[in-house]
Amino acid sequence: MSIKYKLILITMATCITVLLIAGVVLIGGEWISLRKETIQNLSSQAEIMADNCRASVAFKDSKDAAETLRSLHVDDSIIFGCIYTPDRKVFTSYYRDFADAKVRPPEIRGTGHYFSNNILTVFKPIVLDDDIIGTV
């Protein structure tokens, strides 16, 4: 090969490598951004549910709490919602109509978010007068 073709080959290899690296960085950045946005969105919805269910949990009205949880149907990405009592038992729950029968209430954890099997789970406490009376 002549020097001209070797220089062209080196230039092309360098350009392809830089474009591949830039593409990976761009896709990785978007993936991280989407993940953070999803966590923030679901955490906000859990906080709203905790505020809206406070009276229902305080008065042990599971029907009212279930009605409040049913409002989760507006977000297609939410397949399950649950309210736990302080003794870690299920108070009431919501399942999306098409939710797989395999969906079970997750083991309750501390406040925060958790990923497992490509499913994001968020736990938020329901607080009344500085006491935790339940968890969403």
State how far the Cα of 27 lies from the Cα of 30, in Å rounded to an integer: 5
Is the pTM of the predicted complex or chain greater than 0.85? Answer: no
Q: Which helix (H) or strand (E) holds 5?
A: helix 3-52
- Which residues form the domain of 48? 3-135
Contact 94, 81 (CB under 8 A): yes
Counting the structural domains of the chain, the total is 1
- Residue 100: the pLDDT is 57
pLDDT (tens, 9 = 90+) of the chain, 136 residues, equals: 899 999 999 999 999 999 999 999 999 999 999 999 999 999 999 999 999 999 999 898 889 999 998 888 888 888 889 999 888 898 998 888 765 556 677 888 888 998 887 888 999 999 988 889 999 9
- State the pLDDT at residue 130: 87
130 and 117 in contact (C-beta within 8 Å)? Answer: no
Euclidean distance between CA atoms 74 and 93, whole angstroms: 16
Output the CA–CA distances (angstroms, integers) from residue 42 to 2, 11, 91, 113, 131, in the order listed: 60, 47, 20, 9, 23
